[in-house]
Amino acid sequence: MLKNSWIGPYIKQNLRLFIIVILLGVLTFSAGAALMFTSGHLISKSSLMPESIMAVYVATVGVRAFGIMRSVSRYVERLASHSLVLRILEKMRVRLYRILEPQSLLLKSRYRTGDILGLLADDIEHIQNFYLTTMLPAIVSLMLYLGVIIALGVFSLPIAGLFVILLGLLVFVFPLVSLLYARGKNAYLKQGRNGLYQQFTDAVFGLSDWMFSGREKAFIDGYEADEKALLKVETKQFHFVNWRDFISQLVAGVMVIAMVYWSSGEANSGAFSGTLIAAFTLAIMSLAEAFIPVSSAISDKSLYEDSLGRLDKIEDTDLPDFEHEMDQKERIETDAVVLQAEKLTFRYTGNARKVLDQFDFQLKQGEKVAIIGRSGTGKSTFLKLVQGALEPTEGSITMNGVPVAELRPQMAEITAMLNQKAHLFSTTVLNNIRMGNEDATDEEVYEAAKKVNMHDFIMSMPQGYKTPMTEMGARFSGGERQRIALARILLQNTPIVILDEPTVGLDPITERDLLATIFETLADKSLIWVTHHLVGAEKMDRVLFLEDGRSLMEGSHAELMTSEQRYRHLYELDRPIKL
């Protein structure tokens, strides 16, 4: 585990601080044991009513010194350990962001949103706890174990041998049993929680669909049933932990009894003063605090392994090295981008059917193309290939002659997408629009809103552009949400804009108005418009009909109306409202 790239390198980078924290931990427990030792001796000595205060003076000073040392070392140890872990956590989060950010499109095609949220919200936190609650305490307890055995061995080898066994139960046996028991349970709980992340995330994104279908109660019941299943496992694990801790306390009690018996025998034989009986007994009671928690710490190892596995999966070596690619290739100019697909073929892994089959396509700068066809004909797959989220099985897809896969880090400067449900965040309207360009001024945001005919509406609200938007923009209508997303695209200012059925679910009048705004504001952009029907097709330079991954018909709206009876029939069935 220490060889893992999310553990080992950070230990090497901070090795000196790790050693300091471990020594401080040992010092803290040692000071605590010394405090109890001197306290026991002081109490016993005082009970004999010494003739002079000087007889207990050293013990009194020792109690004060070790008490202060324990408090100070504990504070410094906590301060140093948390400082260490926060430094590591900062580097981990930056590293994770640098892995995810350039691969965002590719990751979106390979992982569900709930997986990514689980990775960000759960896994990194688990790795943080590995250092604080598992590795550091385990090393400290191991060093104390060796120290106690050596110290007792100086007085008596038999008692040292006995404590090798008793402390070994707490340091080695119980942690191993806990690990074996918890491994399957922790893996099940971790997967279950990740599953709940996925369910809840999907439900939030599809909240309107759940409510519209009237199935929100079914979702809640299913979610609660999954939670109850996890709760049963957690309850069993809780009972096991209670019994383990109970037995650990019994072992600690046996150690205390053994220490009383041995020290009493040694005192009777004259090996040392009887005042040390309480001293040895209280010291071993204090040290038990360092050994009993080890079982709980080690039992969480499987959680860390699962989290490390997920992080390693994200950082899989088969993912492209984007920074290296951009070092090897020149960035393309975005003033004029020509998109070219030649003999483009794609099939998903494990599926013999070709989603796209020898598909040829060209989009010149400023050209506007509508792609129509039934569901499953390859439209969405083609859009993913354009954005670099997928790579062709055969053929090529390029921008200005450079393979799209090599342009992923630059893709946000080349393409923007307005899809069926634009994601709006729980922040102000101003911030939602500015996400298209974080450097945009307030005036530029206002201008973008004016172009999409939202400025007056926004200003009519009491808080204007500072109006908060709930998650997914639920307080705004579908058309208003799309216009805000369109304003964001205007600020992004990419040469190519992809429209993935942005008017689905809108009424005909809202659809007509929104399309008119889109075509007007994006007049100087290259457009790829994926749609199921033909409202607004006459505004396109070309209309391409996709069927089974191939271009069945292609041409301008006027040409297809004249030469293709099927297209003419579809257009008449749609009864589009003129724009």
Collapsed DSSP state (helix, strand, coil) of residue 554: strand
Write down the H helix ranges in 269-371.
276-291, 294-299, 301-314, 322-328
From the list 118, 176, 138, the residue with the least C-alpha distance to 22 is 138
Q: Phi, psi (5° rounding) for residue 346?
A: -150, 135
- What class has domain 8-314? mainly alpha
Could you list the pLDDT tens digit for every one of the 579 residues in the chain?
667 788 888 899 999 999 999 999 999 999 999 999 999 999 999 998 887 788 788 999 999 999 999 999 999 999 999 999 989 988 888 887 777 765 555 555 555 554 565 566 567 777 778 888 888 999 999 999 999 999 999 999 999 999 999 999 999 999 999 988 887 787 777 677 767 766 776 666 555 555 656 666 777 788 788 888 888 888 988 899 999 999 999 999 999 999 999 999 999 998 899 999 999 999 999 999 899 989 888 887 777 777 777 777 776 544 444 444 444 455 788 888 999 999 999 988 767 788 899 999 999 999 999 999 887 788 888 998 998 878 899 999 999 999 988 887 788 889 998 888 777 888 889 998 998 888 899 999 999 999 999 999 889 888 889 988 865 556 678 888 889 999 999 999 999 999 988 888 778 888 888 888 999 999 999 999 998 778 788 889 999 999 888 888 999 999 999 998 888 888 887 764 444
Angle CA 370–374–378, to nearest 5: 75
Residues of the chain with CATH 3.40.50.300: 339-574
**Pairwise CA distance, residues 452 & 485, whole Å:** 10
DSSP state at residue 469: -
Tokens 């599926």 belong to which residue?
Answer: 351
CATH of 339-574, one of 3.90.400.10, 3.40.50.300, 3.40.50.880, 3.60.21.10: 3.40.50.300
Write down the H helix ranges in 418-556.
429-434, 442-451, 455-460, 478-492, 508-521
Collapsed DSSP state (helix, strand, coil) of residue 339: strand
Q: 411 with 387: CB under 8 angstroms?
A: yes
For residue 151, give both structure tokens. Answer: 């110290």
From the list 549, 552, 531, the residue with the least C-alpha distance to 540 is 531
**Pairwise CA distance, residues 428 & 117, whole Å:** 23
For residue 32, give both structure tokens. Answer: 């605590």
Q: Phi, psi (5° rounding) for residue 384?
A: -65, -35
**Distance linking the first and last C-alpha atoms of the chain:** 63
The answer to whether the Cα torsion of 371, 374, 375, 381 is positive or negative is negative
Residues of the chain with CATH 1.20.1560.10: 8-314
